Structure 1
Amino acid sequence: MTSYQIHHLNFLKIAYNNFINREPFKSEELVQDDLDFIEEFKELIEAFTESKPGVHDHGQDFIDKAFRRYPELAHLIARDLLWYFGGNNLHNMTDDEIAKFQRLDEMRFEAEDKGEEFDYINKRAGLFGQN
């Protein structure tokens, strides 16, 4: 697994932990749909960890589902995951965000082409004005 993928796996794990600590998921008696959603979240993390075939499509569909079913919790999902999985998830991003993530990818590809280490988190922070 590349460092880029590891960062996104960590973003998935953080989102999962954020979700399970919020309603409706922290309730002692979850409805079946919410149980199924959390189980699917766990399965996505496991599939991502194991680099299973189809994980990208699964992630794309799952993140889209999370935004549609739990819009009040959507802010708990790192914007990086919207970009990483793409597809319909890009509709939840601003043009400015898309441009920044495109630039971040360009910077990453340039570093890879030169055989250089790419510090995703710091480069991202600089690009998004978070340092």
Structure 2
Amino acid sequence: MANPHLEYHLQLLHHLRTILAALGEAEQVPEESHALFLERFDELLTLLPQDPLQSQYLGQDLICQVIQRYPQIAHLVPRDLLWFFAGDCLHFMPDEELALYQELEERRYLAEQRGETFEWHLEKQRAQRANGDTSH
């Protein structure tokens, strides 16, 4: 079984997959290339729990492609996925947001070192409130 941090991001990926499927069903995108893209996305969903490090580049590529290929849903891509896959995905995040995620990552690392649980989404909400950010 995947760790809670990985599980959380897998849930976000499944949610994004649902959005992508709905886009195809609404005939908003060319069917053939969209079907191939969804196949690659499904491949990521299968590979990520098995080998998170090896799946990193595929994840980066697919998340960047979602933003570039489907600009109409770019705002629906969870920001946590941009940080999780990092690399080129970070180009889509402003500096303030990168600083917030870096702080969260450091707190997660410290919690793991202490053997404490760290619930990413709850800690993110706390950090956003502390910084006066009410967006999700």
**SS of match in other structure, 2:25:** coil
Match of 1:47?
A: 47
State TM-score, norm by structure 1.
Answer: 0.89
1:13-38 Cα offsets, whole Å, 9 max, x none, are: 0111122123xx11469521111111
Matched letter for residue 12 of structure 1: L
Any gaps of 5 or more consecutive residues in structure 1? none
Matched, 1:80 2:116: no
1:70-125 Cα offsets, whole Å, 9 max, x none, are: 11111221100101111111110111110110010011011111111112121111
Match of 1:19?
A: 20
1:41-120 aligned at under 5 Å gives the runs 41-51=41-51, 54-120=54-120
Match of 1:5?
A: 6
4+ residue runs over 3 A deviation: 27-30
Q: Distance in 1 between matches of 2:104 and 2:4?
A: 14
Match of 2:123?
A: 123
Identity across matched positions, percent: 32
Q: Distance in 1 between matches of 2:92 and 2:38?
A: 21
Matched letter for residue 65 of structure 1: Q
Q: Considering fraction of residues, name the structure with more helix.
A: 2
Query: Are the counterparts in 2 of residues 83 and 89 from structure 1 also a CA contact under 8 Å?
Result: yes
Query: Are the counterparts in 1 of residues 6 and 49 from structure 2 also a CA contact under 8 Å?
Result: no
Shift of 1:43: 1.2
Query: Are the counterparts in 2 of residues 59 and 85 from structure 1 also a CA contact under 8 Å?
Result: yes
Matched letter for residue 5 of structure 1: L
1:43-74 Cα offsets, whole Å, 9 max, x none, are: 11111133366211110111111111111111
Q: Distance in 2 between matches of 1:37 and 1:67?
A: 13
Q: How many residues align?
A: 129
Query: Cα distance 1:53–1:101, how it changes in 2: closer, same or farther (>3 A)?
Result: closer
Query: Are the counterparts in 2 of residues 19 and 76 from structure 1 also a CA contact under 8 Å?
Result: no
- Quick one: higher RCO (CA 8 Å, sep 6+), 1 or 2? 1
State TM-score, norm by structure 2.
Answer: 0.86
Matched letter for residue 73 of structure 2: L
